[in-house]
Structure 1
Amino acid sequence: MSETAPSPVPTATARNANRRHDGRANDQLRPIQFELGIAPHATGSVLVSFGQTRVICAAMIEPKVPAWMRQQGIKGGWLTAEYSMLPYSTLDRKSRDSSRGKQDGRSVEIQRLIGRSLRASIDLDKLGENTLWIDCDVLQADGGTRTASITGAYVAARLAVQKLIDAKRIAENPFRDSVAAVSVGIVKGVPVLDLDYIEDRDAEVDANVVMTGSGQFVEVQGAGEEATFSHEQLQQLLALATGGLKTLAAQQQTQIARALLTTR
């Protein structure tokens, strides 16, 4: 009677064959960290790190709404965001927008994305006649600054509205759900999660996915870089993003719960 030979034990070389340049598996996030209260004068703040990408996200409450809302008789509150990369956030100094006289198109695009993403998860009627300002300032850029900004912005905003609730300025939490974002891409033909700068630079396809904590898509931005991608590859990228975003949502909730526990 013949026997089936046992499968060989994978060598270290074989085990690492599918590892990325930084040693991560294809479906692995970079190390994620949240440092709460980084800006003491903000109503809520966090320094969020996706690997070497580090962004300060601060939320402040202004007890009024924009003039256009008053003129149109729109009730409720408003949420808006601003985004900037500090001059020393990249290897080569980045000029401040003030020195150019206007914001560059990329910064405008990203801050609009941050605003849209958080407005998708909040009931502005429950915010009252308040404006929730979100400021995201990139301290260090190594890919994924917009996704880190959205993920950190929700934490800062949630902590800020809790202070409104505690001060009885609003009756209940206006956030219907959490929101986070992550990048995915195809690098050397392989779908990967949470691209750093080197991977983003070399990717044939890259995308940013924004999702609520309950698994609803808010926005999907994706494009081929002088390349195309198939329906199957798109599904692979969305599956990678969904897995990563579940992890990020859990980490957000853990940080918020700890912060609220220490203030009670």
Structure 2
Amino acid sequence: MRPSGRLPGALRTLSIDTNFSKHAEGSALIRMGNTEVLVTASIESKVPPFLRGKGEGWVTAEYGMLPRATHTRGDREAARGKQSGRTQEIQRLIGRAMRAVVDRKAMGEMSIVIDCDVLNADGGTRCAAISGAWVALHLALRHAMNKNILGSMPLTDQVAAVSCGIFKDTAVLDLDYDEDSNAGADANFVLTGSGGLVEVQGTAEGAPFSEAQLLDLLRLAREGTAQIFAAQKKAVGIG
């Protein structure tokens, strides 16, 4: 039995509330169980220096956790004067995930900055951030279309992420903190709506896991992201 009482292939309760931030062009508050992430997407009429004059847009991301998002208070990274390696890795992952489903030529020379702030952490924060970021990005791009900044939607697909792991020798979907901290293996899958793999991060915490177990985790990830894709579509009013 999982600590939460869920079946192996069950997601935590998922909700996505849009337009949570008053000023951002796109925003979403995503809740996966007790994990809550506020995501905003901000449009900037400039691109990084390496893209100037190329007629391409850019999507990047920043990620952070509030000091009491976890069981004990963590220092603000700004107070420490530098970001942790974990933070840098996650925000690069979020940016890659968004760029995988955007036609940057169709954007023209604009940038969208995705800010992901973890309000409450109970496992799977990077996955929730990615799934919520797609919603915020979609809303920001729609805003640009409504303002006649863009003539068409540059998004080419959906993207979402979910964690899976081996807990008590069983493949399970969407690990919470209790499972993640005791898993024999854990993995994060970033998938597109059309079935493509953007990124797979998998680690054995003890004994190695098998190829068959990896395929079990991928199967669960596809089932889980199918539900997330449906929630994303509902949040932005498509499909």
- Into which bin does the TM-score normalised by the smaller protein fall? over 0.9
Partner of 2:135: 155
Aligned-residue CA RMSD (Å) = 1.1
Alignment of 1:15-164 (within 5 A): 19-70=1-52, 73-164=53-144
Matched, 1:170 2:150: yes
Question: What stretches of structure 1 move > 3 A for 4+ residues in a row?
Answer: none
Deviation at 1:173, TM superposition (A): 0.3
Instruction: Give the TM-score, by structure 1 length.
Output: 0.89
Residue 229 of structure 1 aligns with which residue? 209
Distance 2:116 2:79 in 1: 19
SS at match of 1:21: coil
Give distance in 2, aligned partners of 1:78 and 1:205. 34
CA deviation after TM superposition for structure 1 residue 140, in Å: 0.3
Identity over aligned residues, as a percent?
49
1:226 CA drift (Å):
2.1
Measured in 2, the distance between the counterparts of 1:81 and 1:257 equals: 24
C-alpha deviations, 1:214-263, integer Å up to 9, x for none? 111111100101220111111100000000011110110011117x9xxx
What is the count of residue pairs matched by the alignment? 239
Q: Distance in 2 between matches of 1:34 and 1:175?
A: 19
CA distance in 2, matches of 1:22, 1:231: 27
- What residue ranges of structure 2 are gaps of 5+ in the alignment? none
The code of the aligned residue for 1:42 comes to A
Question: For residues 60-111 of structure 1, what are the alpha-carbon distances to aligned partners after superposition, in whole Å with 9 as ceiling and x for unaligned?
Answer: 00011112222xx432110000000010101111111111110000000000
**Corresponding residue to 1:248 among 210, 214, 228:** 228
**Cα distance in 1 between the residues matched to 2:96 and 2:207:** 28
Q: Which has the higher contact order (CA 8 A, sep 6+)?
A: 2
CA distance in 2, matches of 1:47, 1:163: 18
Rounded Cα–Cα distance in structure 2 between residues aligned with 1:206 and 1:22: 17
Paired with 1:245 and 1:194, the residues of 2 have a C-alpha distance of 10
Q: Distance in 1 between matches of 2:141 and 2:177?
A: 33
2:160 maps to which residue? 180
Partner SS, residue 181 of structure 2 = helix
Distance 2:59 2:236 in 1: 20
- Report the AA paired with residue 123 of structure 2: G
The 3-state SS of whatever aligns with 2:9 is coil
Query: How many angstroms apart in 2 are the aligned matches of 1:102 and 1:90?
Result: 20
Q: TM-score, normalised by structure 2?
A: 0.98
- Which SS does the other structure have where 1:220 is aligned? strand
Aligned to 1:193: 173
